[in-house]
Homo-oligomer: A and B are copies of this chain.
């Protein structure tokens, strides 16, 4: 089982190289290297694309080679996984977790607080070209997370936090109609690989339908980036799609299964409480978050408090045994400009602050999810409110879309908001494709969305003045001034399009050097 040719191999004019972390020759981290003309030194760029942009062929049924070989030696509780029924491909060979009752530092947060620089921190710091101890201190303070489930050895560790390069996430997932065979599974891996090829730093698997679990095995075993899920979606599948059949015990079973598969972060909509639901009554667009709508229905139907809220400590206890990062979902995020920054959204955000404290107490890493639809003048206030309620834990926002009037172009309406909110302190941006509000994104839409978000993230990093970021712009500008066209193509976020657009007007080779 292989990926298509257009999804594999280096980007045009780029090479994947590995460089040892300073002082750690055993830890080699990837970069995209671009050779330049005009006597310039090659430039190295952060590279989230994993082995797919390398030269080695990858057999999807075998999965990626482990990047975290050090996991073997951590003395964790371990058992052999059963091979999934009827699938050619292996589950993780060994399922690990923290032993029951073990209080030695284990999660990245616990280790950081104990002054330990983990191998994951060394790896992530080398990618960011920062000091590992400084990165550790950011994690210890809760300002950054390093999502890395111990059951995800294929992961190339990375860090999410406002002082680091802004990250982006792409969603994907199969639908109820997808098949269960290896070809269907390979299709889904192809989608993931395509998103990270163009620069997505993490992916969320939002699959539905009956084959969620085997599909996720395929994804996890081939994912070099952190994978997030919304476990409520799988719980709802198991409850035959009826929110009223949801309960804590079944939900916990989903968490455990996904934890053993290696999911790195869980979106948990535990901040939407019964008392918040009436605050949405006067909204133009009500509740647009799928997780939010499910939980609101569950709460209202029985007039009862959310089981996610009531069992939040149990959720933390479970996540802590695998080092799964909690991404506290914003079930009441606004779905319209009219609903931005309203009482419902901020009431939930205040609860997320309360839950952040609990998760931190229990040693779990936390991110806060954010909107949605927000006009430009309310973006700074949105970040301030999140900081006021939740402190400076990483903010992870969807867009936001800065207007509702341009369906078909919501990668642009939201790239504007995403660039601004990232500048104001968002650590990771969840992408939006041109098909938002209209249909399911295809391959081209995914690429459009990812590139628009890489632009937003890079523009924000420039504005934040992160060290080294402008070197990329400056290399492009010098190439432009000298009419070095090949260098301009190769330095582009999308070398293929840059070349095609140029050649559409001036196709001759001589026109690329003058």
A81 at the interface (CB under 8 A from B): no
A155 at the interface (CB under 8 A from B): no
Which A residues between 379 and 424 are near B, CB-CB below 8 angstroms?
A: 402-409, 411-413, 415-416, 419-420, 423
Is the beta-carbon distance between B451 and A285 smaller than 8 angstroms? no
Interface segment out of the listed A91-99, A264-272, A304-312, A465-473: A465-473
How far apart sit A336 and B456, CA to CA, in the bound complex (Å)? Answer: 17
Q: A419-B402, A501-B434, A502-B438 are contacts. A477–B335 as well, Cβ < 8 Å? A: yes
Is the beta-carbon distance between B408 and A474 smaller than 8 angstroms? no
Which A residues between 338 and 370 are near B, CB-CB below 8 angstroms?
A: 338-339
Copies, count: 2
Contacts of A58 in B (CB 8 A): none
Is the beta-carbon distance between A459 and B375 smaller than 8 angstroms? yes
Give A22-62 as 1s and 0s: 1 = Cβ < 8 Å from B's Cβ atoms: 00000000000000000000000000000000000000000
A324 at the interface (CB under 8 A from B): no
Q: A335-B477, A492-B406 are contacts. A412–B415 as well, Cβ < 8 Å? A: yes
Chain A contact residues: helix, strand, loop or mixed: helix
Is the beta-carbon distance between B415 and A377 smaller than 8 angstroms? no
Q: A460-B376, A474-B337 are contacts. A498–B405 as well, Cβ < 8 Å? A: no
Which A residues between 479 and 493 are near B, CB-CB below 8 angstroms?
A: 480-481, 488-489, 491-493
The one of B411, B437, B464, B491 that contacts A405, using a Cβ cutoff of 8 Å = B491
Is the beta-carbon distance between B459 and A376 smaller than 8 angstroms? yes
Contacts of A101 in B (CB 8 A): none
Which A residues between 139 and 191 are near B, CB-CB below 8 angstroms?
A: none
Is the beta-carbon distance between B403 and A501 smaller than 8 angstroms? no
The one of B336, B462, B501 that contacts A477, using a Cβ cutoff of 8 Å = B336
How far apart sit A506 and B440, CA to CA, in the bound complex (Å)? Answer: 9
Contacts of A504 in B (CB 8 A): 439, 442
The one of B338, B408, B480 that contacts A437, using a Cβ cutoff of 8 Å = B480
Q: A415-B412, A480-B437 are contacts. A501–B407 as well, Cβ < 8 Å? A: yes
Is the beta-carbon distance between B336 and A493 smaller than 8 angstroms? no
A435 at the interface (CB under 8 A from B): yes
Is the beta-carbon distance between B473 and A336 smaller than 8 angstroms? yes
Contacts of A404 in B (CB 8 A): 472-474, 476-477, 480
Is the beta-carbon distance between B438 and A473 smaller than 8 angstroms? no
Is the beta-carbon distance between A459 and B501 smaller than 8 angstroms? no
Is the beta-carbon distance between B420 and A501 smaller than 8 angstroms? no
Contacts of A494 in B (CB 8 A): 406, 408-409
Residue of A405, A412, A489 ringed by the most chain B CB atoms within 10 A: A405
How far apart sit A452 and B403, CA to CA, in the bound complex (Å)? Answer: 12
Closest 3 A/B residue pairs (Cβ): A439-B505, A336-B477, A408-B497
